[in-house]
Amino acid sequence: MAGIRQTSSLLTTITTLVCIVVALSLFVTDALIVRQVEENTRDYLSEKATNIARVVAHSPTVVEGLQMQMGESRIQPFADEMRRVSGVEFIVVMDMNGIRKSHPDPAKVGKHFAGGDEGAALNGQEYVSTGKGTLGMSLRAFTPVRAQDGKQIGVVVVGITLNRVQSEVSRSRVALFWGIGMGGLVGIAGALLLARRIKKILFGLEPRQIAKLLQERSAILDATREGIIAIDSETRITLVNSEGRRLFQRGGLSEDPLGKPIKELIPETRLDRVLKNGQSEHDQEIEVYGIPLIVNRVPIYLKQRIVGGLMTFRDKTDIKRMAEELTGIKLYAGALRAQTHEFMNKLHVILGMVHLGAYDQLTKYINQTARQYQQDVGFILRRVKNTVLAGFLLGKNSFVREAGAELILVDDAYIPDPEDSEIIHEWVTILGNLIDNAVDAMKDREQKKIFIDAYYDQGMLTMEVEDTGKGFDENEREHLFKKGYSTKKEEAGERGLGLYLVKQIVGKRGGSIEVFSQVGEGSRFLVHIPLKVRGTELDQGPNC
């Protein structure tokens, strides 16, 4: 029941409102028309009575009857006949003394006229008045009777009772009421149709639901970290969320962008093309006001017709930063997982020796393992001053060993501790992807070695990763750093992001990357990155 009430509330409200408006309009119309009908009916009956009175007053029978006493007897039959033919209530003819010469009631003939409103008529005036006579309240038309010489010799009074007037008005109002009733029914039907039409346009939603949806939409748009811009079919901007407005502000636009053609503000938008062909475009790269953006463009359909377009965008640098962070975390996790596997294998060896009771060999194995680990740790920590990066390389060493390869840190390699600690995540991404690619390149090779070298000189850090893999031909080298490109064709599109990210990071830091490779002879990657070191570290390396 609650759902039904909610669904019909807008319908009920609109219907009730329209019906009230129609009813008020009809009542006002009724009041105005009834008054007009009454006035028109009174005027019509007054004119009718006056015309009849004039006819009677100019009748030779009346004129001669008032001039000669011998003709008075003809006035009463004539007046009765005229009253019957014209349909009025009474026709009274009186002389200048106010004595009746005719009356609907013959008994009142010869008696003085009743009403008191005949004085002006006896003085020669023609008029209509309302007065009370022997037949009750009536509308009475007075017309003087004059002889041929113009001398007034009497008065004719034609009367119509007010009951007759009201009867005529009521008869007119019956037709009016029928019209009002039909108008009311049409108004109700129109109200229902209008309400249903509005409900259909509003997709059956109630005003409260629409208000809630608008509030939710505003909250969603403001909370979304992606910029959103919508246009209509004329390519004029109809919606911009907070992130979109920040883009325009960064571009130097201080005025409200709503209502402006999007081409004037973002010439590279290409939303107009989406409006024409109706095809969505996803993950496109454009530059707006010097800001690199990743853009999605989709058409907006209403009843299978394109009525606008929508563009969402995100700052490419934000996406790249997240990708770098995710890649770094993935590399960290992979290194830790490989190190865990390596230690699990060693624990299995230790457990087996314990079960066999080979305690002397167990002691020797543990000491050898610990000594090797300390040597690896000490060697790396002496050359890699940042403990996070050193730990990552230790874990990566385990990963490479698990893959059946050997990771070799060159003896004189040196990576100082950077002043900006955030760059460590970028180094993890760079080294991690280069090492992973080297491992992939050596899968089918007999000799599997990866050499890592690094040196710092005059504010520039150079990192070198060399492998004994299959190498790349010239065509492959040209495409290595393109997004989505992979030397493994079956994985292209799914992979092909590692070297792309490396290139992006190096470019962002103002560095460069070189590739030296020949098919069948391995590859060597040199990465040059400007670097500010922490504290008083010098350029000579670890032995300074």
Tell me the pLDDT of the chain (544 aa) as tens digits: 344 344 456 667 777 777 787 777 777 777 777 777 777 777 888 888 899 989 988 988 888 888 876 667 888 888 888 888 888 888 999 888 888 888 888 888 888 887 778 888 888 899 988 777 666 677 889 999 998 888 999 999 998 877 766 676 677 667 667 777 777 777 777 777 877 777 777 776 777 777 777 777 777 767 666 778 888 888 888 888 877 777 777 766 667 778 888 787 777 777 878 888 888 888 777 777 777 777 888 888 887 788 888 888 877 666 555 555 555 555 555 555 655 666 666 677 677 777 777 777 777 767 666 665 655 555 666 777 777 777 777 777 777 877 888 888 887 888 888 887 778 878 888 888 888 888 888 888 888 899 989 888 888 999 999 999 888 888 887 778 877 667 665 444 445 677 888 888 888 888 999 999 888 888 999 999 998 886 644 444 444 4
For residue 157, which of 83, 77, 64, 105 has the smallest C-alpha distance? 83
Q: Return d(Cα 439, Cα 469) in angstroms, integer.
A: 8
pTM over 0.95: no
Q: How many C-beta atoms surround the C-beta of residue 411 within 10 A?
A: 9
Indicate the residue type of 299. P
Instruction: Give the residue ranges of DSSP H helices in 161-255.
Output: 162-201, 207-223, 242-250
Q: Return d(Cα 283, Cα 102) in angstroms, integer.
A: 108
Going by C-beta distance under 8 Å and a sequence separation of 6 or more, which residues neighbour residue 456?
414, 415, 416, 462, 531, 533, 537, 539, 541
Going by C-beta distance under 8 Å and a sequence separation of 6 or more, which residues neighbour residue 8?
none
- pLDDT at position 493: 43
Buried-state track 133-164, b at ≥16 Cβ within 10 A, e below 16: bbbeebbbbbbbbbeeeeeebbbbbbbbbeeb
- pLDDT at position 495: 53
Is 41:169 a contact under the CB 8 Å cutoff?
yes
Q: Pinpoint the residues of the chain covered by CATH 3.30.565.10.
A: 358-530
For residue 409, which of 351, 348, 447, 465 has the smallest C-alpha distance? 465
Q: What is 2-168's CATH topology?
A: Beta-Lactamase (3.30.450)
90-95 and 281-288 beta bridge pairing: unpaired
Is 396:434 a contact under the CB 8 Å cutoff?
no
| DSSP class of 414 | -
Locate tokens 């009074």: which residue? 157
Q: Return d(Cα 379, Cα 373) in angstroms, integer.
A: 10
- pLDDT at position 491: 45
The class (CATH top level) of 225-315 is: alpha beta
Indicate the residue type of 304. Q
- pLDDT at position 190: 77
- pLDDT at position 339: 58
C-alpha distance from residue 449 to each of 393, 428, 443, 500 (Å):
15, 20, 11, 24
Q: Return d(Cα 476, Cα 502) in angstroms, integer.
A: 17
- pLDDT at position 263: 80
Locate tokens 């040209």: which residue? 478
Going by C-beta distance under 8 Å and a sequence separation of 6 or more, which residues neighbour residue 220?
none
Q: Pinpoint the residues of the chain covered by CATH 3.30.450.20.
A: 2-168, 225-315
- 358-530 in CATH: which number? 3.30.565.10
Which strands form 291-302's sheet, in the order they lie side by side?
237-240, 227-232, 305-315, 291-302, 281-288
Is 79:92 a contact under the CB 8 Å cutoff?
yes
**The length of the chain, given as a count of residues:** 544
